[in-house]
Structure 1
Amino acid sequence: MSDIHANSVAFVRTQEVPTAPPPNDAAGVTKWIKDQLFSTPLNGLLTLVALYLIYTVLSAVLPWIAGGIWDAPSFAACREILGGESAACFAVLSERWNQLIFGFQYPEDQYWRPTLALVLMFVAIAPVLFFDLPRKLLAFTALYPFIAYYLLWGGTIFVPILALVGVAGGYVVYQRLVKGSFAAGFFGGIVAAFVIWTIGGWLIPDTASDTAMLTAVPSRYMGGFMLNMMLGVTCVSLSVPLGIVLALGRQSSMPLIKWVCVVFIEFIRGVPLITLLFVANVMLAYFFPPGSGVDLFLRVVIMITMFSAAYIAEVIRGGLAALPKGQYEAADSLGLDYPQAMRLIILPQALKISIPGIVNVAVGLFKDTTLVSVISMFDLVGMVRGPILASTEWNGVYWELFGFAALLFFIVCYGISQYSQWLERRLATDHR
């Protein structure tokens, strides 16, 4: 009986059965194609139409690019080499590369200076963009504007040193006065920096330029994509803090400050940027003291900064309006004054909400720097439309030049967009 009972006991497996792979149409590439491209008959038809259009475009563009000529002295020579075939004449990029990047007047033996300034820029913005890096690197970030000015413009080294001393003095005054009043500290710092700059300008001897370590390069000699980068980086860096001040001023309880900010924002937003550039070119010089010699680059920076700051102010105001009232009450309950509440509680949350809008304005601003070509500033587009296409050697080359310009702007704008998306994911703490 015991043997019969033992044989009747059900078999119990001691090891798990390996998991069987899913069917081919339920996972992997097949499933993705089925779900994303052919989920419905209409989606399948649209997919086939899109594939046909892509094939049509690539079948015409890829051979045109692959058969391009990179070494030729002129457009006519390109045509002779091609022998009537349709292909790109990329030789214009090889021949005019330096002009496209640095302009046609920047000294050729000084190209290392803007190149070094560009490399140092990535080092300077790294601790600002990626806050996991050591905070000690912010010291170089604070020094970079003065280093970049000296590298790009050259001249006497006393000018950037004096500017650094003025900013440092203004910061000290701001720290001293901000405990009593935020407005007093802010404007006191500006006044202190201006006073130090003015006094230092009197103290610098006229022969200080003889001690210059670098050749002085006027602003009118700067052009190409370098000019677009200079305008974009400078104006974005200045317009963000100015936009924050305008947004806070628009919500101020003081009527005078509020209405000044409202009038400024609404007026600037109601005027096209190209109009402001013409004002910078023709009229803005009359607002400076006679003989001050404020060059066109500074005037353009002022106008573009004001233009973008007005839009950024509205974006940040939307972020401030999105915060619940309880955040302000929480700051009051902790006994924080206005500057502390804005710096520690309100602005960090408002800026996080405003990231997409700020990036949108920054991308638009960088692309709008090409408008300076209408006031005779030879940026990348100005170089293409002016000296290069006006020359007899390359008259008639359009797709290659404007395609190259579009590629450069796309790389920069796409990089800004990807960073903003990464930053949004990193700061999405309320969804975890």
Structure 2
Amino acid sequence: MALTLKLPTPAGALETYALRGAAPVKPAAGVKFNRIAYSAAHVVADPRAAVDPWLASAVDWDATIAYRRRLWSLGLGVAEAMDTAQRGMGLDWPTSLELIRRSLDAARDVPGALVASGCGTDHLAPEAAKGVDDVIRAYEEQMAAIEKLGGKLIVMASRALARVATGPADYEKVYGRILSQAKQPVVLHWLGDMFDPALAGYWGTADVDAAMDTALGIIAAHADKVDGIKISLLDKGKEIAMRRRLPAGVRMYTGDDFNYAELIAGDGWGREAVHGKSDALLGIFDAIAPAASAALGELAQGNLERFHAILGPTVPLSRHIFAAPTRFYKTGVVFMAWLNGHQSHFTMVGGQQSTRSLPHFTELFRLADAANLLEQPELAVQRMKTLLALHGVEE
């Protein structure tokens, strides 16, 4: 007998919704991927901490690290202390560094575990930056702290740099300085303003094609220090065009949470195989980790049709989670972790659980069910009913 519950319709009425009852896909054990796949991972808040969530962050470290162990067990790498972890939206730099330290420590116990950590300038308030030299010093401070722990860097986009830069030359100066000092090849991160409005005009221009030229020029000048670039522009055409122009050996890590399935599968173009497809560094992989792992395993075995059959149904869910205002997508990621029993509560650092509406959550629930992503359906129904009751909707 199908599990049912009453869900609000867009018109505000209640309707009986019956779950599909399809079992979530289980990844095959021991399958190696032919793509590098990082999941940007969320943090689990500590709801019992006596702090005002808008003013201070309180993290449940045990639950947070346990979630990373789950991602590693599925063959996924962890992109640590990124925007999915609410970097700049509740998670400050000291707490981020502690998160990085704990994650790197935990990874040492997991053979083959991948971790790359976000290095930014978020301890420097944008309005406090007087010029690019302040930005360089801020990057260097975080860079030194992460490298001291043995961490690989993801060089995050800087709000301070976006504020003080007067043109492409300032970006060339800052990134040239940082890349020349890196101890190992880094991942660059181009985060579009749909994710963070403070990053509008990054690389010194509002023209995306011109911005791409600047970024590619920086990469070409320091190709031995760049593992790859993650772009989060939600424009598959721009990503494909850029990956075809990358220097030999430099990877494109898709950050396109709207079109990731086809970008990871690739189009086969390029003098070098690495430029005919995208690797992955995605926030949505946190929410769809078992499906992502299973699909990547099928792709590695040449089963392209099966890859799309598993991953394709997750795309409508991802597009909903990342719908505008896109920067609130973290709420949907944490909601999925709560529905699936990976944390005991639905509260977030910074009180960010309040950034989405009840209709948003009910549609998310339907789409998660349609994509076979409800790992414990009875628990998911129970928790959805709890959320509905908190919003005054009771059967």
Shorter-chain TM range is 0.3 to 0.5
Give the TM-score normalised by structure 1.
0.31
Which of these two proteins has the greater Rg computed from alpha carbons? 1
Tell me: higher relative CO, structure 1 or 2? Use CA pairs within 8 A at least 6 residues apart.
2
Higher helix share: 1
Give the TM-score normalised by structure 2.
0.33
Higher strand share: 2
